[in-house]
């Protein structure tokens, strides 16, 4: 069995007196694609934000290849370089071109040679069909293009694991596909990923394992076939039903 | 053609004296602007942290400066403090101090506004890439803040240049004072000198300030 990359144990997260996550444990192995689903507001984004310590945690610990990721610790920037994060609203830097957006952290934070990273960035941009946009500014791109740039920006850091937080939720429907196709191809390349999404057919196709987050913890965890065809809990059934539409008085065919 | 009283400018060194007066005005505002920009950036960054002591100080300071006529500050500094504390201030130094106090407060507020207008998630996105806090400021926050700031600070400098016309009241021989001296001295020979001289000043102020406001507009457009 592949080595464990990310290990979350007994994580508790509170905002003031509101407990969002309680005693949550989760392991992700190398090359594994784990999809997290759950109703809005159940704490999916918070979980991802805890993983690269954008949030302080109130209990438990998070380790990346055995090394502690801790809010406020001195080596945090170093640890964060190993975790790639893609946000719902891209969060590209508006004052930098596409290429500068991608090069900034590898060059400034990882101290890699500009030439080498540039080469790699252009190859990756080409692969997502955006090579000719290297010199454009984010405002000149469509949402789908921005999100693909954001993915390339994360990839260029050579992270151990990639976190995706509803990366197609802000996109117009016709752009969702181009972004999800990129993520599927990353899965095929064997990248380790933790993906939060509301796109169920994508989840089913890309996931090695599906996790339903509900009520502060992991409620159900199974392979995608089981999850979608034979959910174990009532809540999982309810959750899946929320993606279906039924007309009561339509004649059966 | 009416007598515009322009010929007085070519008498003696009058035109050069006017230029000298303009230079005094510009010198005061540029030195004060320089001090204001440096002090304002430090003050503004410190004040951009909510509920910090510096943000409270800045707010009080700004509140006072905003409602106070500049003339009162100039008189207080030049006539008031020299008496009360017995030190010696030239009019020009007093003017620079007052303009700097004013500029630093306004600049500080502009910087604070610009820095806190950058969404938190921009900072988080940079942190998530593993940039150190200083690098996040240097490469992400400040460049975006400066873009919002520059047009506004050029506007402030323009206002400073305009306001130097007040310093004649504390005995600084700047352009308006020179103008009065010239008009006074030529009252017999050129009774219409007032028009010519002030028209010249009008043009000089325009030429000094217009490039600044043009630059501000251009940058605003360029950066959107
Ligand atoms: N900074 C915060 N301060 C207080 N409460 C927050 C904060 N961020 C998120 N929450 C709360 O935590 C809960 C989980 O939010 P989130 O993780 O964004 O949910 P999801 O991504 O699953 O929709 C929500 O109830 C939300 O209101
Ligand atoms: Mg969310």
Max mean pLDDT among A236-240, B13-17, B176-180 falls in A236-240
Max mean pLDDT among A124-138, B8-22, B42-56, B172-186 falls in A124-138
**Has residue B218 been placed in a domain?**
yes
Q: Which pLDDT band, with edges at 50, 70 and 90, does B183 fall under?
A: confident
For residue A166, give the ligand 1 atom closest to its CA. Answer: 21
Q: Which pLDDT band, with edges at 50, 70 and 90, does B1 fall under?
A: low
* CATH code assigned at B69: 1.10.3720.10
Which residues in A lie closer than 8 A to residue B134 (C-beta atoms)?
none
CA of A155 relative to ligand 1 center, distance in Å: 27
Contact A95 B129 (CB under 8 A): no
Judge contact between A240 and A212, C-beta under 8 A.
no
- E strands, chain A, in order: 4-15, 18-29, 33-37, 59-64, 67-68, 83-86, 161-165, 193-196, 209-214, 217-222
As a whole number of Å, the end-to-end CA separation of chain B is 48
pLDDT at A184: 97
pLDDT at B78: 87
DSSP B10: G
Rg from Cα positions in chain A: 19
Q: Hey, how many other C-beta atoms are within 10 angstroms of the C-beta on A30?
A: 16
* Low-confidence residues of chain A: pLDDT under 50: none
Contact B124 A83 (CB under 8 A): no
The secondary element (H helix, E strand) that includes residue A148 is helix A143-155
Closest CA to B180 of B160, B165, B164, B161: B165
pLDDT at A216: 95
Is residue B187's pLDDT more than 90? no
**Has residue B185 been placed in a domain?**
no
Mean pLDDT value of segment B44-54: 80
Judge contact between A12 and A58, C-beta under 8 A.
yes
Quick: pLDDT tens for B131-146: 999 999 999 998 999 8
Q: What are phi and psi of A18, to 5 degrees?
A: -95, 120
Q: Is the CB of A243 under 6 A from ligand 1?
A: no
As a whole number of Å, the end-to-end CA separation of chain A is 48
Per the structure, the complete domain to which residue B82 belongs is given by: 27-173+211-223
Calculate how close chain A gets to B122, using CA atoms only, in Å: 6
Mean pLDDT value of segment B48-64: 81
Indicate the number of domains in chain B.
1
**Has residue B46 been placed in a domain?**
yes
Judge contact between B159 and B208, C-beta under 8 A.
no
CA B185-B190-B196 angle, 5° bins: 95
Identify the bridge partners of residue A63 per DSSP, sorted by sequence position: A7, A68
**ipTM, two decimals:** 0.93
Q: How far apart are CA A35 and CA A32, in angstroms?
A: 10
pLDDT at A252: 62
Quick: pLDDT tens for B105-117: 899 889 989 988 9
Is residue B16's pLDDT more than 90? no
Contact A89 B121 (CB under 8 A): yes
**Has residue B182 been placed in a domain?**
no
Q: How far apart are CA A42 and CA A235, in angstroms?
A: 13
Contact A89 B130 (CB under 8 A): no
Q: Residue B131 is nearest to which of A89, A105, A154, comparing CB atoms?
A: A105
| Residue of chain B minimizing CA distance to A51 | B128
**Has residue B9 been placed in a domain?**
no
For A164, the 3-state DSSP assignment is strand
Is residue B36's pLDDT more than 80? yes
Mean pLDDT value of segment B10-18: 81
Which residue has a Cα nearest atom 8 of ligand 1?
A: A46
Query: Is residue B211 less than 8 Å (CB to CB) from chain A?
Result: no
Identify the bridge partners of residue A209 per DSSP, sorted by sequence position: A34
Q: Residue A95 is nearest to which of B129, B135, B147, comparing CB atoms?
A: B147
Which residues in A lie closer than 8 A to residue B129 (C-beta atoms)?
80-81, 104-105, 109, 153-154, 157
Query: Percent of chain B beyond pLDDT 90?
Result: 24
DSSP A252: P
pTM: 0.84
DSSP A210: E
Query: Is residue B117 less than 8 Å (CB to CB) from chain A?
Result: no
pLDDT at A198: 95
pLDDT at A131: 96
**Has residue B184 been placed in a domain?**
no
Mean pLDDT value of segment B12-37: 88
Calculate how close chain B gets to A84, using CA atoms only, in Å: 7
For residue A42, give the ligand 1 atom closest to its CA. Answer: 22
Give exposure, B122-150, as e/b (b: 16+ Cβ within 10 Å).
bbbbbbbbbbeeebbbebbbbebbbbbbb
CA of A83 relative to ligand 1 center, distance in Å: 21
Mean pLDDT value of segment B158-179: 86
Count CA atoms within 13 Å of residue B62 on its CB side: 18
Please check whether the domain covering A4-13+21-222 is classified as CATH 3.40.50.300: yes
């Amino acid at each position: 069995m592949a080595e464990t990359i990310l290990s979350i144990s007994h994580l508790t997260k509170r905002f003031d007196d509101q407990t969002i996550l309680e005693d949550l444990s989760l392991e992700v192995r190398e090359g594994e694609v784990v999809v997290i689903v759950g109703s809005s507001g159940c704490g999916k984004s918070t979980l991802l934000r805890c993983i690269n310590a954008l949030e302080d945690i109130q209990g438990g610990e998070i380790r990346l290849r055995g090394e502690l990721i801790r809010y406020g610790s001195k080596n945090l920037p170093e640890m964060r370089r190993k975790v790639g994060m893609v946000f719902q609203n891209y969060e590209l830097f508006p004052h930098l071109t596409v290429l500068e957006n991608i090069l900034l952290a590898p060059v400034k934070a990882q101290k890699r040679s500009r030439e080498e990273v540039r080469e790699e960035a252009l190859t990756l941009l080409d692969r997502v069909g955006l090579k000719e946009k290297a010199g454009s500014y984010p405002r000149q791109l469509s949402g789908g293009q921005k999100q693909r740039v954001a993915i390339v920006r994360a990839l260029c850091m050579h992270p151990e694991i990639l976190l995706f937080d509803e990366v197609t939720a802000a996109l117009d429907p016709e752009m969702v596909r181009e972004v999800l196709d990129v993520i599927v191809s990353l899965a095929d390349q064997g990248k380790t990923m933790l993906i939060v999404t509301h796109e169920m057919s994508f989840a089913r196709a890309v996931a090695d394992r599906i996790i339903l987050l509900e009520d502060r913890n992991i409620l159900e965890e199974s392979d995608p076939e089981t999850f979608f065809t034979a959910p174990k809990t009532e809540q999982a059934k309810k959750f899946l039903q929320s993606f279906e539409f039924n007309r009561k008085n339509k004649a059966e065919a | 053609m009416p007598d515009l009283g322009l010929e007085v400018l070519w008498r003696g060194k009058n035109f050069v004296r006017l230029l000298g007066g303009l230079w005094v005005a510009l010198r005061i505002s540029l030195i004060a602007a320089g001090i204001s920009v440096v002090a304002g950036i430090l003050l503004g960054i410190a004040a951009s942290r909510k509920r910090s002591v510096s943000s409270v100080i800045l707010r009080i300071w700004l509140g006072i400066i905003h409602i106070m006529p500049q003339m009162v500050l100039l008189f207080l500094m030049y006539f008031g403090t020299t008496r009360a504390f017995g030190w010696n201030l030239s009019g020009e130094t007093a003017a620079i101090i007052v303009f700097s106090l004013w500029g630093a407060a306004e600049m500080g507020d502009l910087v604070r506004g610009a820095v806190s207008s950058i969404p938190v998630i921009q900072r988080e996105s940079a942190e998530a890439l593993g940039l150190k806090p200083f690098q996040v400021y240097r490469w992400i926050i400040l460049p975006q803040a400066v873009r919002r700031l520059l047009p506004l600070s050029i506007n402030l400098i323009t206002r400073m240049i305009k306001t130097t016309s007040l310093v004649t009241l504390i005995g600084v021989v700047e352009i308006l004072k020179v103008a009065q001296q010239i008009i006074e001295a030529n009252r017999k020979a050129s009774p219409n000198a007032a028009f010519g001289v002030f028209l010249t000043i009008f043009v000089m102020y325009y030429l000094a300030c217009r490039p600044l406001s043009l630059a501000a507009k251009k940058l605003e457009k360029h950066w959107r």
